[in-house]
Amino acid sequence: MARWKPDMRDAEATPERLWLRRRDFLKLGAAGALALGWPDRTPAGEPGGATLAVAKRAALAGGEALTPWDDVTSYNNFYELGTDKADPARNAGSLRPRPWTVTIDGEVKKPVTLDVDALLKRFPLEERVYRMRCVEAWSMVIPWVGFPLGDLIRQLEPTSRAKFVAFQTLLDPAQLPGQRRAVIEWPYVEGLRIDEAAHPLTLLAAGLYGRVLPGQNGAPLRLVVPWKYGFKGVKSIVRITLTERQPPTSWSRLAPSEYGFYGNVNPDVDHPRWSQARERRIGEFLKRKTLPFNGYGEVASLYAGLDPRTLY
């Protein structure tokens, strides 16, 4: 007997939440078109890839419109997949984010090496809408999916010597062909103070727009620290190490006068080569004022007593 077989799983259907927001995408596109004086902008594509089960949602970007999926996934700084903004989306096919092993070690009582999906099962996934401010003075509003890094750190029981957290991107020129050229020293490394890492805003992201993170955005696991410049958001993480001493970070190693360890968004401290006072929100014509800590002023207490001018 012939039976009707669905050719599409539930997981493949557009989530209702996004379907209901489809007009917002169109509006954003139309606003962009008006602003640019061009007939219309790239039609906003629907998010693609497998969906993630999200337990909680928090909109933490002051109700600002989301940057369309197409823009978030086609305009990326991920030098391991090429140094032009469009390169990572073009070259992401060489990155194989599953299976993927992550090691968390160093100054913890319970170091682990585990599969990324096993890691993701340990924590309820949350959607967090954050502003993302690049050091190059452009910004986006992105609905990340992930879990607070602090939850992971607490679970592994840091020793009393744990003062910093070091992160490392995969080193594999076959998967990340940009590593064949020493544009910067590979692998990409980043770091946070442990109190920054444990702050409830700090996220380990595995998705965006309710979908599994695309390669160009740092699949399968990346750091998101919304009050810091985007270069702090290390992508395609293979190792997280708690340390006693401040770890080296890629951009400050390359150009210490331009990029510091902290990378806190600060409109009053210019990058030596350009002003940080304003930023261009992707999709907008006029630049907008950059907010201190990218609008996340609640983290200011982490830096009490420190000169904000030294926190670039």
Partner 1 sequence: MPAGASRNRWLPAAGWVVVLAPLALLAADAASHRLGANPIEAVLNRLGFWTLTFLALSLVPTPLRLWTGLAWPLRLRRRLGVAAACYALLHFSWYLGVDQFFDMQVVVADVVKRPFITVGFAAILLLLPLAITSTDGWVRRLGFARWKALHRLAYAAALLGVVHFAWRVKADRLKPTIFAVAIGLLLLARLRPGPRRT
- Binding residues for partner 1, rule: CB under 8 A, are 36, 38-43, 70-71, 74-75, 79, 83, 85-86, 136, 138, 181, 183-184, 254, 273-275, 277-278, 280, 282-283, 285-287
Measured on CA atoms in the order 210, 211, 217, 223, is the torsion positive or negative?
Answer: positive
For partner 1, the closer of residues 126 and 136 by Cβ is 136
Question: How near is the Cβ of 35 to partner 1 at its closest, in Å?
Answer: 10
For partner 1, the closer of residues 75 and 123 by Cβ is 75
Question: How near is the Cβ of 75 to partner 1 at its closest, in Å?
Answer: 4
Question: How near is the Cβ of 269 to partner 1 at its closest, in Å?
Answer: 14
For partner 1, the closer of residues 76 and 168 by Cβ is 76
For partner 1, the closer of residues 41 and 199 by Cβ is 41
Question: How near is the Cβ of 300 to partner 1 at its closest, in Å?
Answer: 27
| CA-based end-to-end distance of the chain | 69
Amino acid, res. 140: M
Question: How near is the Cβ of 86 to partner 1 at its closest, in Å?
Answer: 6
For 308, the token pair is 């904000």
For partner 1, the closer of residues 121 and 278 by Cβ is 278
Question: How near is the Cβ of 83 to partner 1 at its closest, in Å?
Answer: 4
For 54, the token pair is 């999200």
For partner 1, the closer of residues 4 and 38 by Cβ is 38
Question: How near is the Cβ of 240 to partner 1 at its closest, in Å?
Answer: 24
Give the burial string for 186-212 (b: 16+ CB within 10 Å, else e): bbbbbbbbbbbbbbebbbbbbbbbbbb
Tell me the β-bridge partners of 126. Answer: 56, 146
The beta strands (E) that lie in the chain are given as 56-59, 101-106, 112-115, 126-133, 138-148, 164-169, 189-193, 203-208, 211-212, 222-224, 237-243, 278-281, 288-289
**β-pair type (138-148, 126-133):** antiparallel
The upper half-sphere exposure of residue 270, i.e. CA atoms within 13 Å in the direction of its Cβ, equals: 5
* Separation CA 41–CA 20 (nearest Å): 21
Give the burial string for 13-47 (b: 16+ CB within 10 Å, else e): eebeebeebeeebeebbeebeeeeeeeebeebebb
237 and 221 Cβ atoms separated by less than 8 Å: yes
For partner 1, the closer of residues 84 and 117 by Cβ is 84
For partner 1, the closer of residues 65 and 112 by Cβ is 65
Question: How near is the Cβ of 211 to partner 1 at its closest, in Å?
Answer: 18
Question: How near is the Cβ of 85 to partner 1 at its closest, in Å?
Answer: 6
For partner 1, the closer of residues 256 and 297 by Cβ is 256
